Amino acid sequence: MVAVLLLIASELLLNFETRPYRGAAGRALIVLAWVALWHPADLLLYAHLPVRRKRDLARALANAEVTLHAR
C-alpha cells in the first residue's frame, strides 16, 4: 500500500513539474517505492526455497532404507 501511494505521489510530482526540485523529488519517490516493494517481492520469489529444501530432505528421510544390526 505504501509503495502504491509513493508511486502516485511521484506521478503527481513528475506530471506537474514546474520547479526543478519536483522532478528530483518525484524520482526519489519512485526509488522509495521500489525499496518498499523489495521485501514483499523477495518473499514472493524466494521465501519458498528453504521450505522446499526442508520438504525434500523430509521426503528423502521418509524414503530412506533403515537397517538395524545387533551387536
Beta carbons of 29 and 38 less than 8 angstroms apart: no
Split at pLDDT 50, 70, 90, the class of 18 is: low
pLDDT for residue 34 is more than 70? yes
Instruction: Tell me how many helices (H) and strands (E) the chain has.
Output: 3, 0
The whole-angstrom separation of Cα 33 and Cα 10 is 9
| 21-32 pLDDT per residue, tens | 767 777 788 888
pLDDT above 70 (res 57): yes
Q: Is residue 13 a contact partner of residue 25, using CB atoms and an 8 Å limit? A: yes
Query: What's the domain count of the chain?
Result: 1
d(C-alpha 30, C-alpha 34), whole Å = 6
Location of C-alpha cell 530432505: 57
In this structure, is residue 14 part of a structural domain? yes
Domain encompassing residue 30: 2-63
Query: 42 lies in a domain?
Result: yes
